[in-house]
Structure 1
Amino acid sequence: MPSPDDRPALNGQRSSGGAAAAVSLREVSLTYGGNRRLGGVFGGTDTVDALLGIDADIAGGEFVTIVGPSGCGKSTLLRLVAGFARPTGGEVAVAGEPVTGPGPDRGVVFQQPRLFPWLNLRRNVEFGLRMTGAPAARRRSRTAELLDLVGLSESAARLPHELSGGMQQRAAIARALAPGPRILLMDEPFAALDALTRERLQEELRRIWRRTGTTILFVTHSVDEAVVLGTRIIALSRRPGRIVLDETSAPSAEEDPHAHPGFPALREKIAATVRAAAA
């Protein structure tokens, strides 16, 4: 597989290469406070340590999958990078700049597509561009480019309820890519889909990643999905989430990762790590 800097980039975008890490996590911790109103009545407040001491650099163009036991803080980590939450300790930075809130340099794809039901597919995809004030001609060309990229050009005029679940999720990916983010954050985007659709979208996402060179952080409960998609796999421990494994994935370089001779051993290593983390 070509290096991140060698991959072709959509609309001339390229990964950060030798510059600052695309994402930098420095001793990141997050503690949630308890119910303060009840605490005032009954005395004390409960707290929950969600993440503890997360330390990692993610290079531009990497496809990082994040696995771990339920409740270990995978989605919380994504929310911190997205700027939807702030760490209680440490620092999250994107391209060397501390994250202080959401921004167009980070696109987010959720478990559900969350398309606007009253807008057709074309208008859903161009929504972010409209919010950034992009000219109409730019919106049209970028939207057409992305609809073609995700294979939905012929469905541009259809409303979300007229699309299958897989098509809706492809539209959500196109919408997230529209403003040209440095980073795409994906929180179990295929979890609700049937097995065949999920496998098909995994292939589509790998193709899109190769085409755009976008840095991707992808949360999943599926060890197979983590190994198939990721160039790098990070496993978190049970709460409070700590990094217990950070592994480069050779199978991700293959057209069919399952055919890579190292796939079974790597899959078992990741699965054993997650089982131990959950114990």
Structure 2
Amino acid sequence: MPSRADTLTAAAVRLVGVSLTYRPRSRWSKAEPVEALRGIGADVGAGEFVTIVGPSGCGKSTLLRLVAGFAAPTSGTVTVGGEPVAGPGPDRGVVFQQPRLFPWLNVRRNVEFGLRMTGVPKRVRTARADELLTLVGLGQVAGRRPYELSGGMQQRAAIARALAPDPAILLMDEPFAALDALTRERLQEELRRLWQATGKTVLFVTHSVDEAVYLGTRLLVMSRGPGTIVLDQPSELPRAADPRTHPDFPSVRETVAAAVRRAASSDPEVS
């Protein structure tokens, strides 16, 4: 994996002074503008696994949407690979909290879908889908429909679909939040293995401090809205073995948990 020094010189995602204010839609009254993000600045190096944690409503998912190109900042700039983000693109794969698979397509066709929309020949896209389904442990169920799979299997299929165009960056918005504890832990392990195998840059939003520390090579904590980054800390926990077994895991977890508690307080400033 790339060193910290290497990633700092090869920013895959750069956020400079990013703020977002929007006016909620209301049929009945004129809603007041909402400041969701304020002055976000961060460089994400190529190959980093960045986890983003913070109180509900702090703008974690909104920040991910800006990088995905689903929304534009009110001020500041978002660049990917040195180019301003002007909308969604194949260089960024997105995995949502719910799998959002097409129920009328089997698993293989779901993974192929984005490739088919961009004109990739059938033989090529089918081979790519089968390769990815094997990678995520779903090779034996490629012909099944999504409703025949468990929730964890559906989410693995969604990850395979996001990886199909071979994006440089994977954006994950609480992808395991709706799963039971055992399935969630298993998918955390599988995602860590996938990241190590592919070298993708990952931005991962979660409400779980344990999940953030277990997965992240870098840990971001956001304050309650308007969201700002109040902790940006690289993780020195080794990745070859399970980070949870390392003696420093509890202290790293407590550092992040304390930052989240302060971020959720009435005075969210964190030194």
Match of 2:13 in 1: 23
| 1:244 lines up with 2:233 in the alignment | no
What pairs with 1:37-52 in structure 2 (closer than 5 Å)? Answer: 46-52=32-38
Match of 1:159 in 2: 145
Q: How far apart, in 2, do the equivalents of 1:104 and 1:127 lie?
A: 13
The Cα offsets for residues 192-225 of structure 1, whole Å up to 9 and x where unpaired, read as: 0000000000000000001111110000000000
What pairs with 1:146-185 in structure 2 (closer than 5 Å)? Answer: 146-185=132-171
TM-score normalized by structure 2?
0.93
2:68 maps to which of 58, 67, 82: 82
- Relative to structure 1, is the Cα distance of residues 106 and 4 closer, same or farther in structure 2, using a 3 angstrom cutoff? farther
- Contact kept, 8 Å, 1:105 with 1:183, in 2: the verdict is yes
Match of 2:269 in 1: none
- Relative to structure 1, is the Cα distance of residues 80 and 244 closer, same or farther in structure 2, using a 3 angstrom cutoff? same
TM-score normalized by structure 1?
0.91
Unaligned runs of 5+ in 2: 266-271
Match of 1:10 in 2: none
Q: CA deviation at 1:240?
A: 0.5
What amino acid does structure 2 have at the position aligned with 1:29? Answer: S
Match of 2:245 in 1: 259
- Relative to structure 1, is the Cα distance of residues 228 and 215 closer, same or farther in structure 2, using a 3 angstrom cutoff? same
| 1:222 lines up with 2:208 in the alignment | yes
- Relative to structure 1, is the Cα distance of residues 196 and 252 closer, same or farther in structure 2, using a 3 angstrom cutoff? farther
- Contact kept, 8 Å, 1:33 with 1:47, in 2: the verdict is yes
- Relative to structure 1, is the Cα distance of residues 260 and 149 closer, same or farther in structure 2, using a 3 angstrom cutoff? same
Q: How far apart, in 2, do the equivalents of 1:105 and 1:23 lie?
A: 11
What pairs with 1:33-112 in structure 2 (closer than 5 Å)? Answer: 33-35=23-25, 46-112=32-98
- Relative to structure 1, is the Cα distance of residues 98 and 162 closer, same or farther in structure 2, using a 3 angstrom cutoff? same
Q: How far apart, in 2, do the equivalents of 1:129 and 1:113 lie?
A: 18
- Relative to structure 1, is the Cα distance of residues 36 and 113 closer, same or farther in structure 2, using a 3 angstrom cutoff? closer
How many correspondences in the alignment? 264
2:186 maps to which of 190, 200, 207: 200
| Range 255-264 or range 27-36, more displaced | 27-36
Q: How far apart, in 2, do the equivalents of 1:135 and 1:80 lie?
A: 31
Tell me, what secondary structure is at the counterpart of 2:237?
Answer: helix
- Relative to structure 1, is the Cα distance of residues 76 and 252 closer, same or farther in structure 2, using a 3 angstrom cutoff? farther
| 1:272 lines up with 2:263 in the alignment | no
Unaligned runs of 5+ in 1: 6-15
The Cα offsets for residues 222-259 of structure 1, whole Å up to 9 and x where unpaired, read as: 00000000000100001000000001112252421111
Q: Identity rate of aligned residues, in percent? A: 69
- Relative to structure 1, is the Cα distance of residues 17 and 262 closer, same or farther in structure 2, using a 3 angstrom cutoff? closer
- Contact kept, 8 Å, 2:65 with 2:71, in 1: the verdict is yes
Q: How far apart, in 2, do the equivalents of 1:19 and 1:127 lie?
A: 35
Tell me, what secondary structure is at the counterpart of 1:261?
Answer: coil
What amino acid does structure 2 have at the position aligned with 1:228? Answer: Y
Tell me, what secondary structure is at the counterpart of 1:69?
Answer: coil
Tell me, what secondary structure is at the counterpart of 1:192?
Answer: coil
1:234 maps to which of 177, 195, 220: 220
Tell me, what secondary structure is at the counterpart of 2:11?
Answer: coil
Q: CA deviation at 1:37?
A: 6.9
- Contact kept, 8 Å, 1:4 with 1:62, in 2: the verdict is no
Q: CA deviation at 1:30?
A: 0.3
The Cα offsets for residues 1-46 of structure 1, whole Å up to 9 and x where unpaired, read as: x3279xxxxxxxxxx9687511000000000124587566xxxx51
Tell me, what secondary structure is at the counterpart of 1:86?
Answer: coil
Match of 1:3 in 2: 2
Match of 1:133 in 2: 119
Tell me, what secondary structure is at the counterpart of 1:250?
Answer: coil
